[in-house]
Structure 1
Amino acid sequence: MSHTVEILSVGTELLLGNIANTDAQTLSQGLSELGLNVYYHTVVGDNPQRAREAVAIAKKRADIIITTGGLGPTCDDLTKNVLAEAFGKKLVFDEPSAERIRSYFAKTKRPMTDNNLQQAMLPEGCTVLANDWGTAPGCAFQAEGVHVIMLPGPPSECRPMFQYRAKPYLQSLSEGVIASHTLKLFGIGESAMEAQLRDQMNAMSNPTLAPYAKEGECELRVTAKAPTDAEAQALLKPTVEQVKALFGSKVYGVDVSSLEEVVEGLLREKGMTIGVAESCTGGLMAKRLTDVAGASQVFLGGIVSYTNQVKAGMLHVPQHLLDQFGAVSPEVALAMAEGARKALGCDIALATTGVAGPDKDDWDNEVGTMFVAIATPDGTHVRPLKLGSRPVRARLRTQTAHHAFDLARRYLTGLPYEDGAV
């Protein structure tokens, strides 16, 4: 049986835009991995009447309602009251939850006011979801054909509560095991990827294929359901292999987080190091490389050479190249990569230069004109890019960094530098 899920986020601060609703994003990603379809996201303020109306609508169109927020001790924490009322349940005092709350305050050496014990009032007959990361317990119950799961709002509590409390509960609703693998692709757009898979996707029921567009890249999730994990994996394997064969070198990994993670893993395998010279990306590549745990084993450093003076002075880009071709040129990109390799003493160096906008540069290069280059023990290569003229600097920088990392991946795996990736 397929389920329809609605995520109901409670909090006026979400409506005001004071904080982003990262809880809904986290839950949607996790639910997708479980093969559960999120059909609706709803945000409602700390207002009892509007919350009642939102719950009434959710009851009619979803058979799983997951709420975030509104479980705390203050008067605007109304989620439990509204949900209990909507499903005809009384709130009862749960002594084990109360004891956990008292222990939490004792452990953190903070004074506990009496209103904190309101958090131990839970719908009668519910499954208590113990909160080891805060004070407010979550809970789950079934009524009127709907499963209700309530989670705390702070992301530092919501994320682990979903992972270690809600997911096991949700998995128990379904017979068998749901397993999935995520293929990461670079060098193809979501629409082109979906077009090549459309017939196959329409013909499949188990496993299923679901494409997703990410910033500058694509994901394809393959999900299967079976009585055991081994049987689910047996269903997944041939489909994963078919997709890898179909898209070839555009698939840069399965169940990996990022291109830079793949690059660093390859560098570790080969005992090699990397450095970067950045102009238009302004340090983004160095940041992304150092975001990966263990980066110090392979990443030696980066130079943000945002001006011609720094390109010439620190990277030793010949002045005549800057004068003849301009900073945004293949010649300068190659010289930057070579200069970084020598200056940093690394095996591989990546370089970026381009026009991130909002206007053309002094050489009349359009916004979105970028060059990424790589210098290696075996030579150099440059990839010219035309990434569009929409003046969205963050997007252009992200895509440029993706292309640079793709050059490194291709070098480290012996793939041709250019395979329709531009």
Structure 2
Amino acid sequence: MTAEIISVGTELLLGQIVDTHAPTMARILAECGIGCQRRTTVGDNLGRLTATIRESLDRADVVVLIGGLGPTMDDLTRDGIAGALGESLVREEGYVNELRAWFEKRGLPFSENNARQGDRPESGQFIDNPNGTAPGLLVQKEGKTVIALPGPKGEFNPMAKGTVREFLERLGGGVIHSRVLRVVGMGESYVESLLVDLMQADEPTVAPYAHTGEVHLRLTARGATKAEAEAKLEPVHAEIARRLGANLFGTDDTSLEQSVIETLRLRKQTVGTAESMTGGQLAARFTNVPGSSEAFLGGIVSYHVDVKVASLHVPADLLERVGPVSPEVAEKMAAGAREILNVDWALSITGNAGPASDIDHKPVGLVYIGIAGPDGVEVREEKYRGVREDIQRRAGQTALGWLREKLG
């Protein structure tokens, strides 16, 4: 069974509002065993909306519309559905009377355009909206299903996750379940080269997605129940883990910093940071992990050379001789942080994130990462492309991935 989602509203087309409802609806459909094949945004134009609904009904079994159910003249979803189905709108006078009473009870004027919220296609029925005045719509005709939901978040979410989800679970008769595997230290093309045969299989599907400093692999399978779908994922997950080894660090929402903190906890070890170019971002990532104080003791942001000297004991003559963006300084930063913070492991980052070359003419993207541990200090040179934020993020990813590798 397939579905399409149509988001209605000129404000969406103009970028004045970000559409967060369509992704939510797509996830609900998938979890109910109904695959969303297309998402479309249409402005407040009746001709284009009607044509879009008609085209979606030609392709999909289920069409979900979001928005355009209010009382004003530019709320056209009811009209569009009726036009696409070749039906007229009928008015539920009982609902209009209830709506009028609702307004009167609150001392609010009832303008007649509010009565439009009591209109529905001839073959349709209302979906109760407990948090607003515009009911949703459900139409089932000639093997097709049309669902329309209001746009306000406080109305859409309870309806989509409640009544509508229950209906879709019965309609879909199964689930589509996904699991995301998170990979560090490998590029997308290399990961793909290791998994070509698995990616060519019909089920479970394996799809790679590149993120800054990571590659995500989405595994997806269908089943009559979630447990059945998950059982189909297990052997593929195990095979991917075998091929990627330690580069596969987590699933779903597990972050790289969570993985590192958990490993440190198990080993009863601690970590600290010394940062220049990243300005405390690496420390912030550690502190975003609940309970990280068991393993992360603190960090020193030494953006200026004077702070590198005063707080990390980097020799001033070394800074004058080689400059702050150098392997020697990264080494001294890591060693200083390990001693001063009294931790088992210390990570240091110094580099040039741009947008221009620094005073020592070091190119944008040149980064040195240091790691000080029980066996001494090591430094890596990295060269990244991208804007400043990307370079900073990648440096943090490399530092975390390297520490995770050291921890085993």
TM-score by length of 2: 0.82
Answering whether residue 14 of structure 2 is matched by residue 22 of structure 1, we say: no
Give the equivalent residue in structure 2 for 1:317: 314
Q: Return closer, same or farther for 1:178/1:350 CA change in 2, 3 Å cut-off.
A: same
Q: Compute the displacement of 1:240 (Å).
A: 0.8
Please point out which of 249, 252, 261 is paired with 2:249: 252
Verify the 8 A CA contact 2:34 2:175 in the aligned structure 1. Answer: no
Identify which of 402, 409, 413 aligns with 2:404.
409
1:285 aligns with 2:292: no
Measured after TM superposition, the shift of residue 113 of structure 1 is 5.8
Q: Please give the alpha-carbon distance, in whole angstroms, between the structure 2 residues aligned to 1:100 and 1:327.
A: 70
Secondary structure of the corresponding residue to residue 74 of structure 2: coil
Answering whether residue 259 of structure 2 is matched by residue 223 of structure 1, we say no
CA distance in 2 between partners of 1:247 and 1:50 (Å): 48
Shift of 1:183: 1.0
Match of 1:190 in 2: 188
Change (3 A) 1:244 1:310: same
Shift of 1:184: 0.9
Q: Residue 365 of structure 2 corresponds to which residue in structure 1?
A: 368
Q: Displacement of 1:278 after TM fit?
A: 2.5
Conserved? CA contact 1:130–1:165, under 8 Å:
no
1:191 partner SS: helix
Shift of 1:244: 0.8
Please say if residues 81 and 91 of structure 1, whose CA atoms lie closer than 8 Å, have aligned partners that are also in contact: no
Deviates further, 119-128 or 176-185: 119-128
Residues 97 and 130, structure 1, Cα contact 8 Å, conserved in 2:
no
Asked whether the equivalents of residues 276 and 340 of structure 1 are also in contact (C-alpha less than 8 Å), the reply is yes
Structure 1 residues 362 and 234 mapped into 2: Cα distance closer, same or farther (>3 Å)? same
Q: Is the 8 A contact 2:129 2:155 kept in 1?
A: no
SS at match of 2:151: coil
Structure 1 residue corresponding to 2:258, chosen from 251, 256, 261: 261
| Cα displacement (A) at 1:245 | 0.6
1:393 aligned residue (388, 392, 396): 388
Structure 2: unaligned runs, 5 residues or longer = none
Assess if the C-alpha contact under 8 Å between 1:256 and 1:262 holds in 2: no
Q: Measured at CA, do residues 395 and 37 of structure 1 come closer, stay the same or move farther in structure 2, by a change above 3 Å?
A: farther
Distance 1:29 1:234, change over 3 A: closer
Shift of 1:182: 1.7
Q: How far off is 1:239 after superposition?
A: 1.1
> Once the two structures are superposed, what CA deviation does each residue of 1:51-89 show, in whole Å capped at 9, x if it has no partner?
333323333333333333334454433334423442336
Evaluate the alpha carbon distance shift between residue 321 and residue 183 of structure 1 in structure 2; reply closer, same or farther with a 3 A threshold.
same
**Correspondence 1:175-186 to 2 at 5 A:** 175-186=173-184
Alignment of 1:302-313 (within 5 A): 302-313=299-310
Taking a change above 3 Å as real, the CA distance of residues 301 and 161 of structure 1, as seen in their structure-2 partners, is farther
Q: Secondary structure at the match of 1:399?
A: helix
What corresponds to 1:78 in structure 2? 76
Q: Counterpart of 1:349?
A: 346
Superposition pairs of residues 91-106 of structure 1, within 5 angstroms: 93=92
Q: Which amino acid aligns with 1:128?
A: I
C-alpha displacement of 1:9: 1.9
2:335 is paired with a residue whose SS is: helix
**CA distances 1:5-53 after superposition (whole Å, capped 9, x unpaired):** 3332222222222233333444455656666544433222233333333
Change (3 A) 1:226 1:55: closer
Tell me the CA shift for residue 241 of structure 1: 0.3
Aligned equivalents of 2:127, 2:192: Cα separation in 1: 42
* Cα offset, 1:129, TM superposition: 6.1
**After superposition, what is the alpha-carbon deviation per residue over 1:351-388, rounded to whole angstroms, capped at 9, x for unaligned?**
22222122222333222212223333454333321123
Q: How do 1:231-246 and structure 2 match up within 5 A?
A: 231-246=228-243
* 1:307–1:251 distance in 2 versus 1, CA, 3 Å: same
Residues 1:10 and 2:5 aligned together: no
* Cα distance in 2 between the residues matched to 1:357 and 1:285: 18
Question: In the TM superposition, what is the alpha-carbon distance from 1:211 to its structure 2 partner?
Answer: 2.2
Residue of 23, 48, 53 corresponding to 2:51: 53
Distance 1:354 1:192 in 2: 26
Q: Secondary structure at the match of 1:182?
A: strand
TM-score (norm 1): 0.79
Q: How many residues align?
A: 404
CA contact (8 A) 2:312 2:337 kept: yes
3-state SS of 2:172 partner: coil
Of 324, 330, 335 in structure 2, the residue corresponding to residue 333 of structure 1 is: 330
Secondary structure of the residue that 1:211 maps to in structure 2?
Answer: strand
What letter matches 1:53 in structure 2? A
Structure 1 CA distance for aligned equivalents of residues 392 and 67 of structure 2: 35
Structure 2: distance between partners of 1:101 and 1:410 = 66
Structure 1 residue 279: Cα displacement: 2.2
Q: Which has the larger radius of gyration?
A: 2
Q: Does 1:359 align with 2:343?
A: no
Supply the RMSD in Å over aligned alpha carbons.
Answer: 3.7
Superposed CA offset, 1:117-148 (max 9, x none): 8656566644726566x665544443344333
Post-superposition offset of 1:243? 0.9
Secondary structure of the 1:239 match is helix
**Maintained 8 Å contact 1:330/1:371:** yes
CA distance in 1: counterparts of 2:142 and 2:184, whole angstroms: 45
TM-superposed CA distance for 1:307, in Å, is 2.0
How far 1:327 moved relative to its partner? 1.6
Given that residues 30 and 177 in structure 2 are in contact (C-alpha distance below 8 angstroms), is that contact kept between their aligned partners in structure 1?
no
Cα displacement string for residues 92-112 of structure 1 (whole angstroms, at most 9, x for unaligned residues): 559899989999xx9xxx976
Change in CA separation of 1:267 and 1:166 when aligned onto 2, cut-off 3 Å? farther
| CA deviation string 1:186-233 (max 9, x = no partner) | 12222332233223332x233222222223322112222233444333
